[in-house]
Structures are given as structure tokens and as C-alpha cells.
Amino acid sequence: MANVLHIVVCAGIVPDPLQTLEPITTPTGPGLKNEMVLPAVLDPWAASALYEAAALASKNPGSKLWLVSLGPKAKLQQVMMTVAQKVAFELVPLDGPIGGFPDAHSTAAVLAETIAALPGLDREKLLLFGGWESATRGAGVTLQLVGERLGITDQFQGVDQIDLRDDGSFEVLERVEGGKHQVSICAGAPAVLGWATGNLAEPRNNPQVGMANMRTIMPALAKAKVAKLEANGLSYSSVSLPKQQRTTRVVKDMTPDQIAAELVEWIGAE
């Protein structure tokens, strides 16, 4: 028996990882040099969540899939031209900053408010998906904060697989140390799932899916609300690229404790 699900995927856009990123200090705070001219892509972590969500929705007729994305409207349009050909979804765009410097709490507040206002959303059927980590908003807490603001206490992070059962409950595989998975059983929606890489490959481009998506994406982008993110007291004294340093030694017969002690001493000297 199929379950009707309402799946919301939170997915930001990020500069293409193949580009050289140079942090700079701007009049409004830290940012990236030439950020608005850098080619952008859907956050790789969140992309895995989107593909898993689409596969889950396709197996459960009547389910709905929303993609909530915060970023500059022009960049969102550029990225959606590609993403729209992968899977079917309803875009909910928010016109705001793209970088990873805004406060996670203010970001979560805007996302939660937007999700709560989605027309037709049934919270009893809600699965909130997103990236376990992020290539831009890598605070590691944003998705969790969104869930908490929506009153969702069942949360899973580092998810690689979800198996939905006929009674609405589901089994979740979460990554733990040592290359193993923790197996959890959740009674059912609502729940938050922060995805790792999942098990699905990136879907092939489908022009027909793309054309169907673009009929709703373009009007949604035209009506995108401006999202103002408050600093909440967050400030940066400086931003810079990490220093590149390589010191190689070949040493035999060191114990793990000795190696760890040497690494701690080296890190502490930085």
C-alpha cells in the first residue's frame, strides 16, 4: 500500500567547486571575490537529498515534492535550467545571499517560515530533506534548526537510505564511525532527514521533465520573496584562504597514540 508523502527539500546553490574561490571583506561583510559572476550549481549534498526525495515520491502516488532554495534570483534561474531536467518538483525560491557567511539561525528562520506557509502542506505527511553538510552553509546545524522551528523532533543526520513501510513507518540507515551504519526505525512522518550521498546516481537529463518544470519555475522566480538575513551579532574579524603547507616524513614503528600526539602538537603550533 502506497503512502502519500509531502516532501520538502532545502537546497541552496553554491559556486562551482571547480572554480578558484577567494574570500574577501566587502562593505557588508565577508564574501567571495567576483561571487556573482562565478558559475553556480546546486549544493552537492542537497542534490543527493533531492534525487532521493524524487525517487521516494515516484514510488508513492499522490505525493508532492517541493524544492525550497535560498539564493540570488538570477543565479537560481541559471541553476534551475539544469536541475529542472533531472526530476519533477515545485520550486519555492527565496531571493537572498548565496554565500556561507550568513548566520545559520537567521537562515533557518527564513526557511522554516517559508515551509510553514506552503499551500496545501500537511505536516502529518511531511518529510523534510536536505544535505547533512553543505558546500556553502556548512554550519552543520541549519537543517536541524529548521526542523526544530517546525516542531519536528524526529531527526536523522548522515542518512544513506530510507525504506518506507506500508504502515507509514520507515527504516533509516545513518552513517557512523568505522564505515558502518546505525539502523533506526521511525514510526512515521513528520521527520527530518539530512542526507549524505545516498545510493542513487544523478538522474539523466530529461527535456520533457525540464519543460514541465519550467512552466512553474519561471513564474515562481518572478514572484520570489526577498529574504533578509539578520546577523544576530555574528561578525568576522577576517577571512582568508587556508595556508598551504606540506611536510612529509617517513617514520616506521610509531604507535597510533604517538602519531595522534604528534598531530595534536603540530596543530597546536599553528
Tell me whether strands 90-95 and 126-131 are parallel, antiparallel or unpaired. unpaired
Structural domain 6-226, CATH architecture? 3-Layer(aba) Sandwich (3.40)
Which residue reads 505527511 in cell numbers? Answer: 125
Give the pLDDT means over successive 10-residue stretches in the chain (270 positions). Answer: 84 78 71 74 88 91 92 87 90 81 81 91 92 71 89 91 90 86 90 88 88 90 81 66 72 88 82
Task: Output phi, psi for 12, to 5 deg.
Answer: -90, 175
Domain coordinates in residue numbering, the chain: 6-226
What's the distance, CA 166 to chain centroid?
Answer: 28
pLDDT at 190: 92
Phi, psi of 128 (to 5 degrees): -95, 115
